[in-house]
Structure 1
Amino acid sequence: MAGVSVFERRSTRLVGVDVARCLALLGMIATHVAVARDPDGSLSTLQWIAGGRASALFAVLAGVSLAIISGRRTPVAGAARGRLSLAIVVRAVALVMIGLALAELGTGIAVILAYYGVLFVLALPFLGLGARALLVLAVAWACVLPVVSHVVRPLLPDRQFANPDLDQLAAPGRLAAELLLTGYYPALPWVAYVLLGLGLGRLDLTRPVIQARIAAAGLVVAAGTTVASGFLARRAGFTDVELDAVAGGMFGQTPTDDWSWLLLVAPHSTTPFDLLQTGGSAAAVLGLCLLVVGRLRAVAPDAERAVAIIFGAGTMTLTLYVLHVVLRETLVTPEDDQALLWHVVIVLWVGGLFVALRRRGPLEWLVGLVPDLLRGSRS
């Protein structure tokens, strides 16, 4: 969500990626503000669309951004990679601290930023890989790490169900366990999303044929894993009532008392099926956004600028995510029937204004100061 878009120069931006970032931000806002269940008890449409998928899309797009700033199709090497890695670590530390500070507000939102910062650091060893290796590794990671987590988590300290906050800095072991494996967005299994994004970002994302293949492959994976999970879960004894109960989302992972939990595809269950399904959905959204923006540019060259302004929130997701969390606590609460509308209007208006004025988001500028100096960039 915060991405590393702060590192991307204006001239190298892919507007379709910014559109996808904006959709991810709006999806996460919807899961935080809109009701999860309709009055009849069924899952709401917004929750069905965005639940688990919005945050996964953020993570995949973080990988895409890492690919963009690390050489796109030709990974950076040597001293340049060293400077870039140091810059990413500095930014990651800033994200972790902002995330821990936001938790102090007590909004009830599962704040992603601290986990997100850890994800960037975990991705560093893979910056030198090419597209094919990254995509294969992403699938393998999604299949294997949930199994490792299932075995390891019983050995770790019990998690707290509030957000990791600044007080937990006094217990670094418990904080590390929560950020890596036991928390709401467990970073170690979530590396699969970043690897997927890195792999996609190593492709030529400007080519319509590549964009179409990404969208099609993503849809096939998402649909296939959903069907396979439903079939296997029922064969394992899960009833439709039980599957509906978890369809609204879990808390980052499944219980460890039974291996059959790993067959679920529920949001925030971090099972192999969940990671593959939401990763496929993210790839589909990215491919479709790139395709649509590219088509608009071909038909009406000036349309891309209009799209960039309308979806400008995608260029400053760190600032706007923090603003959303603050608004959720102070000015626009869930008790307001129009809370979601207010959040969306404010986020789109602020994002569009900054893009129209060709300005960076305030937090993107602040958090990027030291990393930009380390990389020698003037974005």
Structure 2
Amino acid sequence: METLRRGGATDQTAMTEPAVRSKRRLVGIDAARGLALIGLMAIHILPSWNTETGEATWSWRLFSGDSAALFALLAGVGLALGSGGRHPREGRALAGERVGVLVRALLITTVGLCINAAMPENPPAYNILFYYGVFFLLAIPFLHAKAPTLFVWAAGFGILAPLLMQGLLDVLPEWWYYNPTLSNVLSNPAGTASQLLLTGNYPALPYMTYLLVGMGLGRLDLRAVSTQIRLVFVGVSLWVAAQTISYVLLYGFEGYFKLQAASHLSEAKLDEILVWGAGSLPTTTGWWLTITTPHSNTPLTIAVSLGVSLAALGVFLLISRKIGAWLLPLSAMGSMTLTLYTAHLLVLALGLHEDAPYLWYAVHLLVAAGFAVVWQLTLGQGPLERVVAFAAKGTRRLVVGQAQSSSPVRMNDSKRLR
């Protein structure tokens, strides 16, 4: 999940006056991140099915899987902008950036572990922050790469990681906790590693597809209208293509019935899995790789969520050119997602929302938007974002050197939750 804020960095200068920096910031990136946060809140709080009809609710259909994918994509955009944008850093500057990303990863992981420790045994939500730290660690070797290389690697992860996930699921160590704590990590390191990389709710290897595509986008000129239009076109095309391929394979080539036969499932149970998933990708047949169920992390599922994420980013970049000021509630939230997501999960841990989910969803949104707008307009960068940025910047200076670090450099478009 990434960042933005008033102090949001740009792909031009690192240390400029706040007014100039605000004008240069890509508000659309923050607004898209704000939408992703709203989506995760909806999935965490609102019911996923209608108790009368048994059908999936609008919040599940709109946000499940896609919100997390959008966060990961925007994390990649931020990493690329922070490591030089269209001109990747080299030498000591690159080494310093890698150390800075390592520090960010460790701090975000620490925040995630602290939140997990506060969660009840049967948690109200899956915490993405622990996984997020792993995303950042895995991104470090790619900080020097240019767009074509990043897109090729993203395709490789999108195709091979699901195959690896399904092929190894039966032999990987088991895990028994939804939100790992430090004691869980120490008592079952192999199971935790398996969960973080392949078997958890946000497995890092499949999610590297979103992250690397985002990094590739950060190497392009995101301010160009042509780039923004292409994002929308490619995103919609990818979504349509993936959904069509899945439908044809399942119902044109009888994949649906092959899934039934191989897994010994009733039609009702299979339909249920195709909407809500099975917890982990079944291994009974390779035909499971043709589904697009949220969080199943098949190649086609990844393509669907990637398409939605690309289109969402493109739309917000386009509309922010004309109505950026009207997007302030969204962009302010998107500028401090680490802070708001942390607060959101800690409040959820109290269990207050269970009897009135729609009311509490509205409360979470209004409080988050109100706090973000007031804080950004008065103090700038979010509280936790400021701490993480300070630590990362300090360690980066130790590597690069004070003189070089204080000179103008290209930075990223958002210091957010990244």
TM superposition score normalised by structure 2: 0.84
The counterpart of 2:298, out of the listed 271, 282, 286, is 271
Tell me how far 1:246 sits from its aligned partner.
2.6
Structure showing greater radius of gyration is 2
The counterpart of 1:175, out of the listed 170, 192, 214, is 192
Counterpart position of 1:291: 318
Contact 2:3–2:334, Cα closer than 8 Å, also in 1:
no
- Relative contact order: is structure 1 or structure 2 higher (C-alpha 8 Å, sep ≥ 6)? 2
Give secondary structure in 2 for the equivalent of 1:311. Answer: helix
The answer to whether 1:34 aligns with 2:46 is: yes
Paired amino acid for 1:188:
L
The answer to whether 1:92 aligns with 2:105 is: yes
Counterpart position of 2:335: 315
Partners of 1:231 and 1:94 in 2: CA distance = 45
After superposing the two structures, state which structure 1 stretch, 245-254 or 43-52, moved more. Answer: 245-254
Matches within 5 A, 1:210-229: 210-229=227-246
Contact 2:2–2:72, Cα closer than 8 Å, also in 1:
no
The answer to whether 1:61 aligns with 2:82 is: no
Counterpart position of 1:75: 88
Paired amino acid for 2:99:
L
The 3 A distance-change label for structure 1 pair 328 and 194 is same
The 3 A distance-change label for structure 1 pair 264 and 59 is same
Counterpart position of 2:221: 204
Counterpart position of 1:327: 347
List gaps (5 residues or longer) in structure 1: 297-303
Partners of 1:265 and 1:4 in 2: CA distance = 31
Partners of 1:164 and 1:37 in 2: CA distance = 27
1:42-96 residue CA offsets vs partner (Å, 9 max, x unmatched) = 1111110101000000000000000110111111111111111111111101111
Partners of 1:74 and 1:256 in 2: CA distance = 43
Counterpart position of 2:28: 16
The 3 A distance-change label for structure 1 pair 7 and 313 is closer
Partners of 1:126 and 1:255 in 2: CA distance = 31
Counterpart position of 1:118: 134
Matches within 5 A, 1:158-169: 158-169=174-185
Give secondary structure in 2 for the equivalent of 1:155. Answer: coil
Paired amino acid for 2:364:
H
1:119-178 residue CA offsets vs partner (Å, 9 max, x unmatched) = 011011112221122223212320111101212232211122421112123132222121
Paired amino acid for 1:83:
G
The 3 A distance-change label for structure 1 pair 48 and 313 is same
Give secondary structure in 2 for the equivalent of 1:197. Answer: helix
The 3 A distance-change label for structure 1 pair 187 and 7 is farther
After superposing the two structures, state which structure 1 stretch, 167-176 or 231-240, moved more. Answer: 231-240
Tell me how far 1:7 sits from its aligned partner.
7.5
Contact 1:225–1:277, Cα closer than 8 Å, also in 2:
yes
After superposing the two structures, state which structure 1 stretch, 236-245 or 193-202, moved more. Answer: 236-245
Partners of 1:331 and 1:151 in 2: CA distance = 38
RMSD of aligned Cα (Å) = 2.1
Give secondary structure in 2 for the equivalent of 1:335. Answer: coil
List gaps (5 residues or longer) in structure 2: 261-266, 398-404, 407-414
Contact 1:182–1:252, Cα closer than 8 Å, also in 2:
no
Paired amino acid for 1:228:
I
The answer to whether 1:375 aligns with 2:400 is: no
Contact 1:186–1:252, Cα closer than 8 Å, also in 2:
no
1:99-121 residue CA offsets vs partner (Å, 9 max, x unmatched) = 12211222331100010110011
Partners of 2:94 and 2:81 in 1: CA distance = 13
Paired amino acid for 2:241:
G
Counterpart position of 1:300: none
Paired amino acid for 1:330:
L
Paired amino acid for 2:246:
S
Tell me how far 1:248 sits from its aligned partner.
4.2
Partners of 2:353 and 2:372 in 1: CA distance = 21
The answer to whether 1:25 aligns with 2:52 is: no
Paired amino acid for 2:198:
L
Tell me how far 1:28 sits from its aligned partner.
0.4
1:171-228 residue CA offsets vs partner (Å, 9 max, x unmatched) = 3222212111121111111111101101111110001111010111011101210121
Paired amino acid for 2:296:
S
Partners of 1:310 and 1:3 in 2: CA distance = 12
Give secondary structure in 1 for the equivalent of 2:276. Answer: coil
Counterpart position of 1:301: none
Instruction: Report the count of equivalent residues.
Output: 372
Aligned identity (percent) is: 32
Contact 2:243–2:304, Cα closer than 8 Å, also in 1:
yes
The 3 A distance-change label for structure 1 pair 295 and 306 is closer
Paired amino acid for 2:100:
A
Partners of 1:260 and 1:329 in 2: CA distance = 38
